[in-house]
Every structure is written in C-alpha cells, then in structure tokens.
Amino acid sequence: MTDYQYPKDIYTEAEPDVNTLANLGPLAGLAGIWEGKRGLDINPKEEGPVKDPYIERVELQPIDAQTNGPQLFYGLRYHTHIVQPDEVETFHDQVGYWLWEPATGNILFTVSIPRGQTLMAVGKAAPDAKTFTVKAVRGSLTNGIVSNPFLEQSFTTESYEITVNINDDGTWSYDQTTLMTIPGYDKPFEHRDRNRLTKIAEATPNPTALAAQKDGE
C-alpha cells in the first residue's frame, strides 16, 4: 500500500476536522446521489460472454472521520442499486465505503454484495487527482477478496480493479474488471462493467458537520 511510517504511538488518536466533505481529497467529486443509464456489463455464460445494459443509482454520503489510533480516514458510505432497462428486479446490489487517508494518499474501496462476496481494493492518488485506480487481489491480507464456497469453486475471483474518472462536466465514470477463473473457459475471464453517472441530488453533510453548523447559528 505505502512505505509511509506510522507513529510508534499506536494509541493516541488523530484529531480530525468535523467537515468530511471538505477533506475527501480525490473522492470529493463522488459525493452525492447519482444515476447512470448507459451501463454495460460483460459477463460469463456457458455459451460465452454476454453483454447486458443496465441502469444504476448510486448514493454516496459522507461519514464522520474515522480513526485507528493515529490513522485517519475521511470517507463516503455508498449503496449501488442496478436494474436492467424496463425491469424491476434487482440486477446488482452493492454496499461499502470509499475511504481517503490524507497522510499516505491511500484510497480504500470496500465492496460487499449479497451473492456472498466481499473485497477491499486499494490504490493511491494525489489530493487533487481526477482519475484513480484501486485493486484487490485474491489471497492478499491488505487488499484481498473473500468469496462464499460456491463462488470460490466455480467463479474464482483472482483480482478486481476499478478506474474512476472525475469528468469536467460534473459527471464521473468508471471502468472495472473482475478477473475470474471459470471451469470450461480456457483462460481467465474478464468480467467488465462500465458506466457514467450524473448527479441528481447533493450529499447530506456528515453528523459532526451538521452539529457544527447548528452550533454556529
């Protein structure tokens, strides 16, 4: 992740700013509620790859700063809900956090889906970066992937990578690749997803920021 040396004092907590939205670094452009209607999913079937269009709604809300002793994160809690065009049934559901560590430049992206799979992808970016990539790898203890027994046996996820671009027009887009080993495929399969998101509502300030606003009134 980084060669940054954390303090030897692992118990004294960092003193965070109350306003998360002002301290998100490269994640600042993600805060809010978003919709994307041009998603494309390339997924594996027995007969070969299939392309599925999808419509996506993502809510990314700031959380209070998080500390592990001297380690400090600012972040966004998110929920992604996806359906296919003209359908009601959920095509994909996902929750987790985007986290920014100012001291190191590390970005952490946690993913949990109700198919029985969880991962943490890690990358690095400058505070003003408009594009960044995070990656998770099967077997890693710091940016790993954990799957339920069926997925581990039948759709073994070897790696996960997502690149995010904050666009000049206020939208953001992503391109992600999940590399899987699947019985019957002669090489690892690249499960691809990509979409462009447009903001439909602003984020709500985190609890400590709201409290500070009230105290200042």
User: Does residue 26 fall inside a structural domain?
Assistant: no
User: Does residue 13 fall inside a structural domain?
Assistant: no
User: Does residue 161 fall inside a structural domain?
Assistant: yes
User: Does residue 64 fall inside a structural domain?
Assistant: yes
Interacting residues of 172 by C-beta distance below 8 A, sequence separation 6+: 29, 30, 34, 164, 165, 166, 196, 197
Rounded Cα distance, 215 and 156, in Å: 52
Q: Which residue range is the domain that position 85 belongs to?
A: 32-199
CATH of the domain at 157: 2.40.128.20
Express each pLDDT in 2-42 by its tens digit. 577 888 999 999 999 999 999 999 999 999 999 999 999 99
Q: Token match 């690892």: residue?
A: 188
User: Does residue 211 fall inside a structural domain?
Assistant: no
User: What's the pTM value of the predicted model, to 2 decimals?
Assistant: 0.95
Number of domains the chain is built from:
1
pLDDT given for residue 47 in this prediction: 87
